[in-house]
Amino acid sequence: MSPEEELQSNVSVASSTRNIVGVLKEHNYLGLSDCSSVGSSNLSGLADDDKATISLKATELTLGLPGSQSPARDTELNSLGPAKLDEKLFFPLLPSKDEICPSSQKNIASGNKRGFADTMDKVPVYTEKNWMFPEAVVATQSVIKKEVAQNIPKGKLSTTNNSSSPPAAKAQIVGWPPVRSYRKNTLATTCKNSDEVDGKPGSGPLFVKVSMDGAPYLRKVDLRSYTNYGELSAALEKMFTTFTLGQCGTSGATGKDVRNETKLKDLLNGKDYVLTYEDKDGDWMLVGDFSWEIFIGVCKKLKIMKGCDAIGLAAAPAPRAMEKSKMRA
């Protein structure tokens, strides 16, 4: 459709739904008079404590979605096609939209996303909703809820580094809750100290950096999301598999016993890598000498080194020179 035709239909829409546009103008949402304040004069009534006034005003203002007005308007609007109508009523002033509009409307109406038309058909009455009485919209809102559930992106649960977290706990989502890892770690350490006094195990996450010789970037893992060395090694394997030359199946390692240090070493040694860690004293040690619980208490950093570089580490602290060269690598 050419821009002229679109414009004409826009005008006809505007005239037939004058009330809506008029109300919108008052509240200046469309920015038609280039004023940034949104319906400031009309909203002054909201300062009153009168609940009825608030709810009435709120009703007027929540007209946001066309077709959500009184039933009389529904027919007019629906006859013109909800998708296009919505675009024009709400975003008429975007100059660059003209070329994009048709395609974007198509996408919205018929793409794999739930189209706006679908929303409109199923949820006609937004005006009934007002600030004070949410239960009035239970019927309509429950429909929204169902559809929202379907639309939850799959990424929600799959974007996690800690894919081998214990099944009992909720699946860990990367970067959620949004607390800085610095704070998480600090609280975790502090909590651990106090919880030990109380006799409860520490429950906060414990992030440590994991680096690998030859890899372009570091990763971070939460040691508390694993319960044994096997899980840790499986997770690290997944994370760093892009950089290793050979593939080694992890099915043998996961789900085995707690003290699987040898399994871990075998796994990584098979690819000529060993897992080492820096402890609280700054010394680099081979992973696997201690029990898991002790290990997570002392581990500050992890490093996947080539087997040949790790010779001489064993259980003894590495000499400082070697440690420095590893860190600079």
Partner 1 sequence: MNYFPDEVIEHVFDFVTSHKDRHSISLVCKSWFKIERYSRQNVFIGNCYAINPERLLRRFPCFKSLTLKGKPHFADFNLVPHGWGGFVQPWIEALARSRVGLEELRLKRMVVTDESLELLSRSFVNFKSLVLVSCEGFSTDGLASIASNCRHLQDLDLQENEIDDHRGQWLSCFPETYTSLVTLNFACLEGETNLVALERLVARSPNLRSLKLNRAVPLDALARLMACAPQIVDLGVGSYEDEQDSESCLKLQAAIRKCTSLRSLSGFLEAAPHCLSAFHPVCHNLTSLNLSYAAEIHGSHLIKLIEHCKKLQRIGDKGLEVVASTCKELQELRVFPTDLQGGGNTAVTEDGLVAISAGCPKLHSILYFCQQMTNAALITVAKNCPNFIRFRLCILEPHKPDHVTSQPLDEGFGAIVQACKNLKRLSVSGLLTDQVFLYIGMYATELEMLSIAFAGDTDKGMLYVLNGCKKMRKLEIRDSPFGDAALLADVNKYETMRSLWMSSCEVTLGGCKRLARKAPWLNVEIINENDNNRMEENGYEGRQKVDKLYLYRTVVGTRVDAPPFVWIL
Q: SS3 of 249, please?
A: coil
Is the Cβ of residue 11 or residue 174 nearer to partner 1 in the bound state? Answer: 174
* Rounded Cα gap, residues 159 and 164, in angstroms: 13
Site for partner 1 in 286-315 (CB under 8 A): none
Of the candidate residues 2, 15, 75, 182, the single one contacting partner 1 (CB under 8 A): 182
Restricted to residues 22-41, the positions that interact with partner 1 (CB under 8 A) are 27, 29, 31, 36-38, 40
C-alpha distance from residue 319 to each of 67, 82, 140, 212 (Å): 75, 72, 69, 19
180 is an interface residue for partner 1 by CB under 8 A: yes
User: Shortest Cβ distance from residue 260 to partner 1 (Å)?
Assistant: 25
Amino acid at 105: Q
Which amino acid, 268?
L
- Are 45 and 123 contacting, i.e. CB atoms less than 8 angstroms apart? no
* Using rule CB under 8 A, residue 94 touches partner 1: yes
Of the residues 52, 218, 258, 316, which one makes contact with partner 1 according to CB under 8 A:
218
Q: What is the largest CA-CA distance in the chain?
A: 85
Nearest distance, CB of residue 262 and partner 1, angstroms: 30
328 binds partner 1 (CB under 8 A): no
The residue count of the chain comes to 329
Nearer to partner 1, 55 or 291 (CB): 55
Task: Identify whether the C-beta of residue 301 lies closer than 8 Å to the C-beta of residue 277.
Answer: yes
145 is a site residue for partner 1 (CB under 8 A): yes
Q: Is the Cα dihedral 158, 161, 163, 167 positive or negative? A: negative
> Which residue in 7, 91, 289, 325 binds partner 1 (CB under 8 A)?
91
Provide, rounded to whole angstroms, the least separation between the CB of residue 100 and partner 1: 6
* Residue 62 near residue 127, CB atoms below 8 Å: yes
**65 binding partner 1? (CB under 8 A):** yes
254 by DSSP, 3-state: which?
coil
Interacting stretch for partner 1, rule CB under 8 A, among 72-80, 198-206, 248-256, 287-295? 198-206
Stretch that binds partner 1, among 11-19, 91-99, 244-252, 260-268 (CB under 8 A): 91-99
For partner 1, the binding residues in 115-144 under the rule CB under 8 A are 115-116, 119, 126, 129, 131-132, 134-135, 137-138, 141-142, 144
Neighbour order of strands in the sheet with 219-222: 219-222, 207-212, 301-306, 273-278, 284-286
- Looking only at the bridges linking them, the beta strands covering 301-306 and 207-212 are parallel
| Residue 93 or 314 with smaller CB distance to partner 1 | 93
Between 93 and 311, name the residue whose CB sits nearer to partner 1: 93
Stretch that binds partner 1, among 11-19, 105-113, 246-254, 263-271 (CB under 8 A): 105-113
| Cα dihedral 169/175/176/179 (nearest 10) | 120
Q: Is 245 in the site for partner 1 (CB under 8 A)?
A: no
Nearest Cα neighbor of 317 from 265, 271, 282, 287 is 282
Asked whether position 110 contacts partner 1 by CB under 8 A, the answer is no
Contact 290, 269 (CB under 8 A): no
Q: Which is nearer to partner 1, 242 or 251 (CB)?
A: 242
Choose, by CB under 8 A, the member of 3, 22, 45, 111 that binds partner 1: 111
Lookup result for tokens 């789900």: 255
Please say which residue, 9 or 55, places its beta carbon nearer to partner 1.
55
